[in-house]
Amino acid sequence: MDVYSLAWTHDAPLSEVVDQDERNELARALMSRSEDILHLCQRKYVAQAPEMTLEVAARHPMWDIVSVAVKAIADWLETGLGAGAPARQRIDSLGNAAAIDQETAIAGRTPDKSTVGPVLPEQGEGPSGVLSVALVTKLNLWWKDTTCLVLEEEGARLAIGRDTIDAATDMVERSCNSSIVRMAKQYDLELQDLHARLVDLANHDQLTGLANRAVFLARLETAIARIGRHPGGLAVVFIDLDDFKAVNDAFGHSRGDELLTALAERFRDEMRPEDTVARFGGDEFVALFEDLISPAREARALAERLHRVITEPITIAGEPLYITASIGVAVVTDVSYPSEEVLAQADMTMYGVKRTGRNQVAMVELGGELHPAAFAMASELHRALDGDGLSLAYQPAFEAKSGALVGFEALCRWTHPDRGPISPVDFIPIAEESGLMPALGSWVLAEASHQLAAWSEMSDTSLTMAINVSGRQLADPMFSTLVEESLARTGIRPHQVVLEITESILLGEHVNYEAVLARLNEVGVRLSIDDFGTGYSSLAYLRRFPVDQIKVDRGFVQDVAEHGDTRIMGAVVRLAHDLDLEVVAEGVENEAERLIVQLLGCDVMQGFLLGYPLTPQLIEEKFFAGASVG
């Protein structure tokens, strides 16, 4: 069937191909039985396609090829030449049609892939049927068998010499073989092309052309493994646009797509070729920066740069569009982190930004301290924060002299679905390390403020609410705004709020809290040094920061009660009073301790003896029993 194989005969020694008269005679006989060959082929086809009637089968355009091929053999017998251009084209188009149909079938668009034979065109439809490679191969073989059969029959009938008949059948066979090989080659080419397209589809986000999640994770894995061999670390920057839905709603999805594509372009421009930026779908982009020599510093700078690039106006359809993003960065300097975990950490950190005012960059450093168990716990904590797994207990505080109620301290509680209550001593550090602290902290702030507002209405005196604040919260430039917002929302007065900061946080080296503390001081909330005296001998910092109160650690009170030596505790109280600071004694557990606290002149006392941390309901029963709610 393949005309190119017919063309071989140009070089074949025609002298072997005997008598020209015999050849002409055989050619004419073959042509006269062209219809027979066609019908035989059609019958073979119907025999293997049970649903098909001969009448329907005959309508298929593929049969045309059979006649063209028979004619080509006859022409060759007469002239010794291969088929002309029109016949070639016809045969070509059929081979290509088969290959293209394969492609369609692989792409899953064939209506019924189980169909072996051609799906014949509906009546009145154009001449396009689906041809499988298998079918075209069969067609070749049917054509070969029937054509050889007819050549043998006609040769015998006309007493044509063996050599001539053999030469003709040999040509048919070679044409057939070559046709099959050629079709297979074409099919291979299409398959290669298709494969390349599938690989592209599997690795890239179709809208922006950026890497997709799978590729990103694979690269991240390799990059983490490399940390072991190179100094430094890497950073995963998780970007989620703020209010992208509003863009889609206001301008339509195609504008939204344009915006995403434009951002992808900016990211590409901003990054080195060895960095990876991916789109995880929607408005989530994730970037990977490798080989950072000073990972935390560089990562922050890179993330800030991406943040700036996002916030520059983007012109869509002639209109400048302003967009912001919440960005979470996970910095990794340790090979022991699985890629999924690193990604989750960056995601959680981003989520923390979302919950605390958006349009910021927040960072978490993974240096090996968060082992898998802690990671699992972080995910559960995340879920608890999302649902209602967290609550606040309130411990009352009293004036030392009179024993009157002063206010409460909000203490975070987490009841794990399987493990029961988990101490904040255990889960607060995990929230810190996993980037959840901003979200958790702002929830505590809002909840406790809300509670204070409710209780203030039930009380004649001005009550205070002490709220514990972690270093990560203070490091957030948005923190003071958050406090102001919660004051405005609940209507409580600033001096009713006491923010407790532990001594160790304040003296940590890497962050300078002076600015944020000054701002909080301006807002008017009070600042307290929690766990005072647990590590630092120098008290100079008390003058450096605008502190209002110290909470003397439980250990001091205990010490005095056990050893009877009041000198240190007494000096601390005096010094605090000299600096105009209020002194709170923590952890008063028995009468002896209460007496000491009162004798030494502490202003406020707190402890199990006076009141346990309780649920809001129990607090109300105990302290506001007479008050009407609302």
**Residue 503 in the binding site for ligand C2E (CB under 6 A):** no
Interface with Mg ion (CB under 5 A), residue from 242, 500, 503, 603: 500
Distant-in-sequence, close-in-space partners of 356: CB < 8 Å, separation ≥ 6: 438, 439, 441, 442, 476, 478, 482
Give the residue with the Cβ less far from ligand C2E, 180 or 466: 466
- CA separation, residue 544 to residues 298, 470, 511, 549 (Å): 30, 19, 15, 14
From 6-14, 91-99, 527-535, 600-608, span contacting Mg ion (CB under 5 A) = 527-535
395 touches, from Mg ion, ligand C2E, none (C-beta below 5 to 8 Å by class)? ligand C2E
Interface with ligand C2E (CB under 6 A), residue from 263, 362, 469, 619: 469
Interstrand relation of 526-532 and 549-552 (parallel, antiparallel or unpaired):
parallel
| Three-state DSSP class for residue 630 | coil
CA dihedral 397, 400, 402, 404 (to 10 degrees): 0
**How many CA within 13 A on the CB side of residue 447?**
22
**Residue 25 in the binding site for Mg ion (CB under 5 A):** no
**Residue 603 in the binding site for Mg ion (CB under 5 A):** no
Give the nearest distance from C-beta 561 to ligand C2E in angstroms: 12
Secondary-structure percent of the chain, ordered helix, strand, coil, rounded to 5: 55, 15, 30
**Residue 500 in the binding site for ligand C2E (CB under 6 A):** yes
- Nearest CA among 331, 368, 336, 364 for reference residue 350: 364
Give the residue with the Cβ less far from ligand C2E, 431 or 573: 431
**Residue 423 in the binding site for ligand C2E (CB under 6 A):** yes
- CA separation, residue 492 to residues 141, 455, 461, 516, 559 (Å): 91, 10, 13, 21, 37
From 63-71, 311-319, 381-389, 579-587, span contacting Mg ion (CB under 5 A) = 579-587
444 touches, from ligand C2E, Mg ion, none (C-beta below 5 to 8 Å by class)? ligand C2E
**Residue 530 in the binding site for Mg ion (CB under 5 A):** yes
Q: Tally the residues of the chain.
A: 630
Interstrand relation of 420-422 and 497-502 (parallel, antiparallel or unpaired):
unpaired
**Residue 256 in the binding site for ligand C2E (CB under 6 A):** no
Q: Which two tokens stand for residue 77?
A: 């017998």
Q: Which two tokens stand for residue 440?
A: 């958790």
Give the nearest distance from C-beta 439 to ligand C2E in angstroms: 12
469 touches, from ligand C2E, Mg ion, none (C-beta below 5 to 8 Å by class)? ligand C2E
Considering only residues 553-572, where is the footprint of ligand C2E by CB under 6 A?
554
**Residue 582 in the binding site for Mg ion (CB under 5 A):** no
| Planar angle of CA 43, 44, 49, nearest 5 degrees | 95
Considering only residues 584-613, where is the footprint of ligand C2E by CB under 6 A?
587-589, 606-608, 613
Considering only residues 265-324, where is the footprint of ligand C2E by CB under 6 A?
none
Question: How far is residue 281 CA from its own chain's centroid?
Answer: 7
Residues that bind ligand C2E (CB under 6 A): 395, 411-412, 423-425, 428, 444, 468-470, 500, 530-531, 554, 587-589, 606-608, 613
Residues that bind Mg ion (CB under 5 A): 468, 500, 530-531, 586
